[in-house]
């Protein structure tokens, strides 16, 4: 073993010191990041990896998982007849409720940005529903829209209109849930409002000088300027739509009048007639009611893949519509 | 950084290892004649006022078993039991309202096999009638004892029946149908005010499992689902024709205003329904919530041509067992044995909770003091033709798959009954196969 060609001692020391400093810096960075790294690894990374593993097993939560290869995925795509109705319901919600939510929130925020008086009151009133816990809000809507005793149908009845069956009708259950979603639009509305108020005034002024009317100002000034926020709202809306659970679960159980004392009686998930059986509800049913956690994990993996793919497609295609302001302006 | 990564790796490995550990200890099957004193715990789904009776019976156990102290936790459910077993902090004894989950608790070993204890103490499972004997074991493994049963029958409002000129309840389905129509009252706008018999699917206790026995309908043929039978077709055909007579939407509106099943606004308790299928517990609810209602009980009517099934019905019930994580299995067994087989304990529970006691001997117990109307359910329980739903690996998934189709057939969104039933069979068979995937042959 021969010694390597010796550097001058001073240079060696300086390099060592530099390296030490670099390591210290890295250590410091890692130390500052560690809360996030730990949280991410324990609460996101580990469950994700474990769920991916479970999707290749049969796992009843009580005995050790048994490796079954792709059987869960085969069952999901070729055999399980409840999956496609659930997928269709979820797609319905994404195609109808999500765009409506975005339009509704945008419309309200534009109106609120124009209000001259009582600005604070209106903003509070439109934001307030977002603070209502989802379960309580759903219970409230099921009560309001009760076809027999609810105030909405009572008023309609007085006007000579027989109100629909709302949460008790397969045709009306999803629109009823959409109404509930539109009512609780506060969070998106606040973000839109901030964006609308942030549109530089001089853009409107120059547009006006060019003879642009209200619609043209909206079309050519407001919308392009806030387009990144619209993109954000759409992406978040779609992801939340894919995970839609609480309201549908509560509405089905309450409207379906379930909770059999003997517990083996009627299950109301998806009531009426599977019209509110969204994909995450089916996933819950498989995992936690039927103790079929391996299959539920396979369903969760598919949901992740779809959420990822949809977000990717939206973001990719958004470049044509979304206008980012150059920094420093 | 490397150290951080190393620590993370170690942590991950530790968690993976932990998740793989079942933590089961070998069952100690030493003699239970003289067990060590111990503090044990039991979880029950009962809540007050039933929980009070349950605690009183457990207190009797403590008196007769000095040294064993029992902590009773009420209001639990199967989700909590499963989570606790996985977490290693399950109680020593667990009670479940969902006998369908025997198919999960037994084969997984989550509840231990009780046969060694039973053999040792000379407890034969012939002390239970056939149906509860079946729903508390799975493929020969007895991991639970039945503890109190639910049987179903017909409740009828005597005042409304008398007004319509009826002196006795219906015995056959055609009588039930005729009476239901005559007892139904609409207001001037055609809205249903009183429904003779409400056949709406999944309303209150209206599930196929509860109706099936009156048509002699069964669930399985060997290990295959067998719902595509004339018996089920008859049952569903009758239900559909009665629903159509009322008008599906009219019934939906009626149900929406009918009040919750487990509240004082229950439609039978408020006189909005004249005849009603329900479990034996309704007797206690009626005493508490509608003491002035004049009602009677009878076995559920049977399909015409099935008079041999008269007096029978559907039975299911609670199960009780020992989670594998229990540290005091011998003491836990004494409590399971007491609650599951002691005639006095079962009679006392039955008197307080108004559930059916589950051993043949306890049905004869002199301590038993059934409320008026309750005897019907004791008789249904003791009837040789009374049946239950089969326990499978997929829990209640088969029943719920069936109910889902029934709901669509009754509303008219599915019209092909035969094809639909065959489709349900196919789907359930696929579920069964999927649940068995990867099993050692």
| Rounded Cα distance, B240 and B415, in Å | 11
Q: Is A148 on the interface with B (CB under 8 A)?
A: yes
**Chain B CB contacts of A169 below 8 Å:** 252
Q: Does residue B301 surpass a pLDDT of 80?
A: yes
Note the pLDDT of residue B393: 86
| Rounded Cα distance, A84 and A86, in Å | 5
Q: Is B41 helix (H, G, I), strand (E, B) or coil?
A: strand
Q: Does residue B18 surpass a pLDDT of 50?
A: no
The maximal CA–CA distance of chain A, rounded, in angstroms, is 103
CA-angle at B361, arms to B357 and B362, nearest 5°: 30
Q: What is the pLDDT of residues B212-222, one digit of tens each?
A: 999 999 999 98
Note the pLDDT of residue A258: 54
More confident residue, B71 or B258: B71
Flag if A291 and B82 touch (Cβ within 8 Å): yes
Q: What is the pLDDT along chain A (329 residues), one digit of tens a residue?
A: 445 555 566 777 888 888 899 999 999 999 999 999 999 999 999 999 999 999 999 998 888 899 999 999 999 999 888 899 999 999 999 999 999 999 999 999 999 998 888 888 999 999 999 999 999 999 999 999 998 889 999 999 899 888 899 999 999 999 999 999 999 999 999 999 999 999 999 999 999 999 888 889 999 999 999 999 999 999 999 999 999 999 999 999 888 875 443 344 346 788 888 999 999 999 999 998 888 899 999 999 999 999 999 989 988 888 888 877 665 44
Output DSSP code: residue A93: I
Note the pLDDT of residue A6: 53
| Rounded Cα distance, B73 and A180, in Å | 37
CA A84 to chain B, closest CA, distance in angstroms equals 14
Q: Cβ(B226)–Cβ(B425) under 8 Å?
A: yes
Note the pLDDT of residue A326: 63
Domains, chain A, in order of start with CATH, read 9-71 (no CATH), 81-318 (1.10.3720.10)
Q: Does residue B200 surpass a pLDDT of 90?
A: yes
Q: Is A290 on the interface with B (CB under 8 A)?
A: yes
Banded model confidence at residue B172, pLDDT cuts 50, 70, 90:
very high
| Rounded Cα distance, B277 and B288, in Å | 19
Q: Which residue is closest to B438 within chain A, CA to CA? A: A68
Q: Does residue B14 surpass a pLDDT of 50?
A: no
| Rounded Cα distance, A79 and B371, in Å | 50
CB atoms within 10 A of CB B375: 13
CB atoms within 10 A of CB A171: 12
Nearest to A256 among B202, B253, B408 (CB): B202
**Chain B CB contacts of A147 below 8 Å:** 252-253, 256
**Chain A CB contacts of B419 below 8 Å:** none
DSSP assignment of B42-108 equals EE-S--TTHHHHHHHHHHHHHHHSTTEEEEEE-S--HHHHHHHHHHT---SEEEES-GGGHHHHHHH
Q: Cβ(B165)–Cβ(B243) under 8 Å?
A: no
Note the pLDDT of residue A14: 83
Q: Which two tokens stand for residue A167?
A: 């949460």
Q: Is B124 on the interface with A (CB under 8 A)?
A: no
**Chain A CB contacts of B138 below 8 Å:** none
Q: Which two tokens stand for residue B163?
A: 């007004």
CB atoms within 10 A of CB A40: 12
Q: Which of residues 267-286 of A touch B (CB under 8 A)?
A: 267-268, 270-274
Q: What percent of chain B has pLDDT over 70?
A: 91
Q: Cβ(B239)–Cβ(B410) under 8 Å?
A: yes
Q: Does residue B306 surpass a pLDDT of 60?
A: yes
Flag if A291 and B408 touch (Cβ within 8 Å): no
Identify the weakest region by mean pLDDT among A44-58, B165-179, B356-370. B356-370
Q: What is the pLDDT of residues A33-42, one digit of tens each?
A: 999 999 999 9
CA-angle at A110, arms to A107 and A115, nearest 5°: 125
**Chain B CB contacts of A272 below 8 Å:** 407, 411
Q: What is the pTM of this model?
A: 0.85
Nearest to B85 among A26, A62, A272 (CB): A62
| Rounded Cα distance, B259 and B156, in Å | 18
Q: Which two tokens stand for residue B47?
A: 């809540």
Note the pLDDT of residue B21: 40
Q: How far is CA A21 from the centre of its chain?
A: 44
Q: Which residues of A261-297 are buried (b: 16+ CB within 10 A; e: fewer)?
A: bbbbbbbbbbbbbbbbbbbbbbbbbbbbbbbbbbbbb
Note the pLDDT of residue A262: 39
Banded model confidence at residue B28, pLDDT cuts 50, 70, 90:
very low
CB pairs under 8 A between A and B: 162
Domains, chain B, in order of start with CATH, read 33-150+315-382 (3.40.190.10), 152-309 (3.40.190.10)
Q: Is A70 on the interface with B (CB under 8 A)?
A: no
The maximal CA–CA distance of chain B, rounded, in angstroms, is 88
More confident residue, B58 or B15: B58
| Rounded Cα distance, B141 and B104, in Å | 12
Beta-ladder partners of B302 = B172
């Amino acid at each position: 073993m021969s010694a390597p060609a010796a550097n001058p001692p001073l240079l060696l020391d300086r390099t060592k010191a530099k390296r030490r400093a670099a390591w210290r810096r890295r250590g410091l960075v890692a130390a500052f990041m560690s809360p996030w790294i730990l949280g991410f690894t324990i609460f996101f990374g580990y469950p994700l990896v474990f769920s991916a593993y479970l999707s290749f097993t049969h796992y009843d939560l009580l005995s050790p998982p048994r490796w079954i290869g792709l059987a869960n995925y085969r069952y999901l795509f070729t055999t399980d007849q409840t999956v496609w109705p659930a997928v269709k319901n979820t797609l319905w919600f994404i195609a109808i409720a999500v765009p409506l939510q975005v339009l509704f929130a945008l419309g309200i925020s534009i109106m609120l940005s124009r209000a001259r008086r009582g600005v604070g009151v209106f903003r509070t009133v439109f934001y307030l529903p977002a603070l209502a816990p989802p379960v309580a809000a759903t219970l409230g809507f099921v009560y309001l829209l009760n076809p027999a005793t609810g105030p909405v149908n009572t008023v309609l009845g007085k006007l000579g209109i027989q109100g629909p069956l709302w949460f008790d009708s397969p045709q009306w259950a999803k629109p009823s849930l959409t109404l509930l979603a539109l009512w609780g639009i506060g969070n998106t509305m606040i973000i839109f409002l901030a964006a609308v108020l942030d549109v530089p005034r001089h853009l409107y002024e120059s547009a006006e000088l060019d003879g642009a009317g209200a619609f043209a100002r909206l079309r050519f000034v407001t919308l392009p300027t806030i387009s990144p926020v619209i993109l954000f709202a759409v992406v978040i809306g779609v992801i939340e739509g894919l995970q839609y659970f609480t309201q549908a679960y509560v509405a089905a159980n309450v409207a379906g009048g379930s909770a059999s004392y003997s517990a083996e009686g009627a299950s109301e998930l998806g009531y009426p007639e599977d019209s509110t059986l969204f994909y995450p509800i089916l996933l819950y049913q498989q995992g936690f009611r039927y103790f079929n956690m391996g299959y539920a994990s396979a369903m969760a993996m598919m949901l992740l893949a779809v959420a990822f793919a949809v977000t990717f497609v939206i973001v990719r295609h958004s470049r044509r519509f979304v206008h980012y302001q150059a920094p420093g302006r | 950084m490397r150290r951080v990564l190393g620590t993370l790796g170690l942590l991950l490995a530790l968690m993976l290892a932990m998740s793989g550990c079942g933590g089961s200890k070998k069952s100690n099957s030493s003699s239970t004649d003289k067990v060590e004193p111990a503090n044990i715990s039991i979880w029950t789904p009962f809540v007050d006022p039933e929980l009070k009776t349950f605690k009183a019976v457990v207190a009797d156990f403590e008196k007769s078993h000095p040294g064993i102290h029992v902590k009773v936790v009420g209001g639990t459910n199967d989700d909590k039991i499963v989570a606790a077993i996985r977490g290693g902090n399950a109680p020593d004894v667990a009670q479940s309202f969902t006998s369908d989950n025997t198919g999960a608790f037994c084969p997984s070993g989550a509840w231990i096999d009780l046969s060694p204890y039973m053999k040792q103490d000379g407890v034969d499972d012939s002390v239970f009638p056939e149906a509860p004997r079946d729903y508390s074991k799975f493929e020969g493994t007895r991991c639970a004892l039945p503890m109190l049963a639910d049987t179903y029958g017909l409740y009828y409002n005597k005042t409304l029946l008398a007004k319509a000129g009826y002196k006795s309840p219906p015995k056959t389905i055609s009588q039930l149908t005729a009476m239901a129509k005559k007892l139904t009252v609409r207001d001037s706008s055609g809205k249903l005010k009183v429904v003779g018999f409400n056949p709406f699917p999944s309303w209150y206790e209206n599930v196929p499992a509860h109706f099936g026995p009156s048509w002699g309908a069964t669930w399985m043929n060997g290990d295959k689902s067998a719902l595509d039978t004339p018996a089920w077709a008859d049952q569903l055909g009758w239900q559909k024709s009665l629903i159509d007579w009322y008008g599906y939407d009219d019934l939906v509106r009626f149900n929406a205003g009918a009040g919750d099943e487990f509240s004082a606004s229950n439609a039978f308790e408020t006189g909005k329904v004249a005849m009603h299928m329900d479990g034996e517990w309704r007797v206690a609810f009626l005493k508490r919530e509608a003491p002035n209602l004049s009602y009677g009980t009878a076995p559920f009517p049977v399909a015409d041509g099935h008079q041999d099934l008269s007096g029978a019905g559907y039975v299911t019930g609670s199960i009780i067992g020992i989670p594998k994580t229990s540290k005091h299995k011998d003491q836990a067994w004494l409590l399971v044995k007491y609650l599951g087989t002691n005639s006095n304990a079962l009679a006392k529970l039955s008197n307080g909770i108004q559930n059916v006691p589950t051993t043949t001997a306890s049905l004869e117990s002199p301590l038993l003091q059934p409320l008026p109307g309750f005897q019907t359910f004791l008789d249904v329980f003791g009837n040789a033709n009374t049946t239950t739903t089969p326990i499978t690996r997929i829990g209640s998934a088969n029943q719920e798959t069936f109910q889902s189709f029934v709901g669509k057939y009754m509303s008219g969104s599915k019209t092909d009954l035969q094809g639909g039933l065959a489709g349900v069979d196919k789907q359930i068979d696929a579920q069964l196969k999927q649940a068995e995937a990867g099993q050692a042959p």
